[in-house]
């Protein structure tokens, strides 16, 4: 949080440029929570106020240095002031409020900045300080007089005397001296309090009290000077700005002006916050995906247990053959001796619309389907368990080492992310599908996306597919672990999808080449999507769209 001293320093640095300048525009970026006042003096300048809850700023720089890295269109504010001349800039004494007096012909207005962090605002007042307009839509009646919000009863830095310090010490005997100064002197935080007090744990004798007051006077002069450097520190996750170096702390950035310090440190804080936001989103997404994976494993385990009964269907088919003479069309069930178990008799359900032979074939088909279904379910369960293990490992990596994890596992970053200054919005270059056994398939979207899918998102041991001698998408069959062995059906389904996402989509059968990704090469200066293969194999498949299984 900026202090009143920080804000006063910005005014000292910028007054000569602001007074007598002309207002070009006043712009507000809602998503960025930032308002900007563009001015024309000997060149274009910009006065910026940021209302972000985690970082806030008030700085004056050349217009080019103040440009926001955003595609958001601004909302104009107080257009009647545009073209007016600024006649004065003042700070409300000891407060984080700044008034600009603007004259536009015979009409004068006051533009008031409330630099109060997330609760800040920008007001347009008439020359009698009656409310005309509010930037952030606070409820008010136009014409009401603006009243400055009450501020705590404190003392100014240049008002410190030995008597005041002695009284404060006697009134707060159990509080550390630096904390006493923080609570009772405008603009002083704990670090400044330590600087003024020195290494003393208590207020010292009267002679030393005089020394503290002398340091306070010098400190006040530093804030009023536009020639002293500004040092930016990161203390307990918050930005702090001082016109001197903190004793014993070399972790700082040095700037010529308070405005430069605030601008660059604000951008740095924004990057940190958005990176942290991306980290939180990623961990939440992985946690949700892991919960779904656990539920899927539970359901598949139950399905496998139920499907294991398919052997009984073959027994029913055989028993019906043995007792074919007793079965008649129209019967709903038949009881026969159970030759496969110790039970004396078993009752077999029959379809009355079928002949005995048709019922025998029905149970035989159910046996064959059950056998195939069990194998598929078992494969899906094994793949789901392997993927679950991978998800646990990836989640642990993102929780403990986010920076390296996002490069190692980019496919697990959420598809919707915020825009980071200097970087584009993160978008995946592929679409995701799944095989019937639950394996993930990546299908590149465009030529450049194909290259990214192959060389940024595919592991060296995973299988890469492409329709032979035909333009099409790069397709990657993802493995849950390095030693995974894909089945024939998983290879054929992925190949069929690669054929579908090619120019040969309407052909009867298409040859599809596949190999491990480590044998895919990108020739120098080759156009987007063009690669060469080694150790490839070919499979003939019918192009098949499995869009219904897209994630």
Q: What is the CATH number of the domain that holds 11?
A: 2.30.310.10
Q: Is the pLDDT of residue 159 over 80?
A: yes
Residue 436 lies in a domain: yes
pTM of the model: 0.54
For residue range 48-106, list pLDDT tens digits in order.
Answer: 998 876 667 899 999 998 888 888 899 999 998 999 999 999 998 888 899 999 998 88
For residues 544 and 494, give the distance between their C-alpha atoms in angstroms, rounded to a whole number: 9
What does the pLDDT average to over 226-247?
Answer: 84
Same domain, 86 and 184: no
**Per the domain annotation, does 416 fall within a domain?**
no
Name the domain count of the chain.
Answer: 4
Residues 200, 96: one domain? no
Same domain as 543, residue 436: yes
- Residue 108: what pLDDT? 94
- For residues 59 and 107, membership in a common domain is answered with yes
Do 109 and 215 lie in one domain? The reply is: no
Q: Which of 256, 282, 305 is the last residue of a domain?
A: 256
DSSP, residue by residue, 139-161 = ---TTPBP-PPP----B-GGG--
424, pLDDT greater than 80: no
Please give the radius of gyration of the chain, using alpha carbons only, rounded to the nearest integer. 37
* Highest averaged pLDDT of the listed ranges 219-233, 407-421, 487-501: 487-501
347 in a domain, yes or no?
A: yes
Inside any domain, residue 37? yes
Of 350, 372, 395, the residue at which a domain comes to its end is: 395
Q: Give 420's DSSP letter.
A: P
Q: What is the pLDDT of residues 337-393, one digit of tens each?
A: 988 887 788 999 999 999 999 999 998 888 887 777 788 888 999 999 999 999 999
Position 551 scores a pLDDT of: 38
Position 421 in a domain: no
What is residue 420's predicted lDDT score, i.e. its pLDDT? 40
* 121 domain residue, yes or no: yes
Residue 423 belongs to some domain of the structure:
no
Average pLDDT over residues 6-18: 93
- Whole-angstrom Cα distance, residue 474 to residue 168? 73
Angle at the Cα of 110 from the Cα atoms of 108 and 116, rounded to 5 degrees: 175
- Pair (390, 433) in one structural domain: no
Do residues 123 and 165 share a domain?
Answer: no
What is the CA angle 79-81-87, rounded to 5? 160
Domain end point (choices 378, 395, 412): 395
Give yes or no for residue 1 having a pLDDT over 90. Answer: no
Question: Do 163 and 130 lie in a common domain?
Answer: no
| DSSP-assigned letters across all residues of 430-479 | EEEEE-TT--EEEEE-SHHHHHHHHHHS--TTSEEEEETTS-B--EEE--
Same domain, 42 and 122: yes
The pLDDT value recorded for residue 142 is 82
The count of other CB atoms within 10 Å of the CB of residue 432 is 15
* 456 and 545 both lie in a single domain: yes
Q: Are 241 and 195 found together in one domain?
A: yes
Q: Is residue 149 part of a domain?
A: no
Please give the residue that has the higher pLDDT: either 141 or 432: 432
**Owning domain of residue 302:** 292-395
Same domain, 130 and 8: yes
């Amino acid at each position: 949080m900026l202090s009143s001293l920080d804000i006063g320093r910005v005014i000292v640095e910028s007054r000569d440029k602001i007074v007598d300048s002309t207002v070009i525009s006043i712009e507000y970026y809602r998503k960025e929570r930032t308002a900007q006042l563009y001015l024309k003096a000997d060149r274009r300048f910009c006065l910026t106020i940021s209302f972000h809850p985690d970082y806030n700023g008030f700085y004056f720089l050349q217009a080019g240095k103040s440009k926001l890295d955003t595609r958001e269109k601004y909302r104009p504010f107080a257009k009647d002031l545009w073209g007016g001349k600024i006649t004065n800039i003042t700070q409300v004494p000891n407060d984080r409020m700044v008034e600009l007096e603007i004259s536009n012909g015979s009409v004068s207005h006051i533009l008031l900045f409330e630099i109060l962090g997330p609760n800040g605002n920008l007001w347009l007042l008439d020359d009698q300080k009656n409310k005309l307009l509010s930037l952030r839509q606070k409820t008010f009646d136009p014409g009401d007089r603006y009243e400055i919000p009450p501020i705590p009863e404190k003392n100014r830095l240049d008002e410190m005397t030995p008597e005041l310090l002695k009284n404060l010490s006697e009134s707060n005997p159990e509080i550390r001296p630096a904390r006493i100064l923080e609570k009772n002197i405008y603009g002083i935080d704990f670090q400044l309090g330590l600087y003024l007090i020195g290494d003393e744990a208590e207020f010292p004798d009267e002679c030393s009290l005089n020394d503290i007051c002398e340091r306070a006077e010098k400190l006040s002069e530093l804030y009023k000077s536009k020639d002293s450097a500004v040092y930016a520190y990161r203390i307990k996750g918050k930005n702090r700005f001082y016109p001197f170096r903190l004793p014993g702390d070399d972790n700082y950035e040095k700037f010529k002006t308070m405005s430069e310090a605030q601008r660059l440190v604000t951008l740095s804080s924004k990057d940190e916050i958005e990176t942290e936001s991306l980290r939180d989103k990623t961990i939440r997404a992985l946690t949700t995906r892991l919960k779904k994976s656990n539920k899927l494993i539970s359901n598949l385990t139950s399905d496998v247990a139920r499907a294991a009964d398919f052997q009984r269907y073959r027994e029913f088919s055989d028993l019906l053959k043995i007792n074919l003479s007793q079965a008649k069309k129209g019967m709903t069930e038949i009881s026969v001796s159970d030759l496969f178990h110790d039970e004396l008799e078993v009752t077999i359900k029959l379809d009355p619309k079928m002949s005995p032979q048709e019922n025998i074939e029905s149970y035989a088909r159910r046996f064959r389907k059950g056998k195939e279904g069990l194998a598929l379910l078992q494969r899906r369960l094994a793949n789901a368990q392997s993927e679950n293990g991978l998800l646990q490992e990836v989640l642990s990596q993102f929780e403990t080492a986010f920076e390296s994890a996002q490069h190692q596992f980019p496919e697990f970053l959420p598809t919707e992310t915020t825009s980071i200054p200097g970087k584009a919005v993160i978008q995946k270059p592929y679409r995701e599908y799944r095989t019937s056994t639950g394996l993930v398939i990546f299908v590149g979207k465009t030529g450049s996306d194909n290259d990214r899918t192959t060389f940024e998102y595919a592991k060296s041991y995973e299988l890469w597919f492409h329709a032979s001698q035909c333009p099409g998408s790069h397709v990657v069959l993802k493995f849950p672990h390095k030693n995974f062995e894909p089945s024939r059906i998983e290879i054929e389904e992925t190949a069929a999808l690669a054929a579908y996402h090619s120019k040969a989509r309407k052909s009867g059968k298409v040859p599809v080449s596949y190999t491990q990704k480590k044998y895919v090469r990108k020739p120098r200066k080759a156009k987007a999507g063009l690669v060469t293969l080694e150790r490839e194999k070919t499979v003939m498949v019918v192009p098949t769209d499995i869009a219904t299984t897209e994630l």
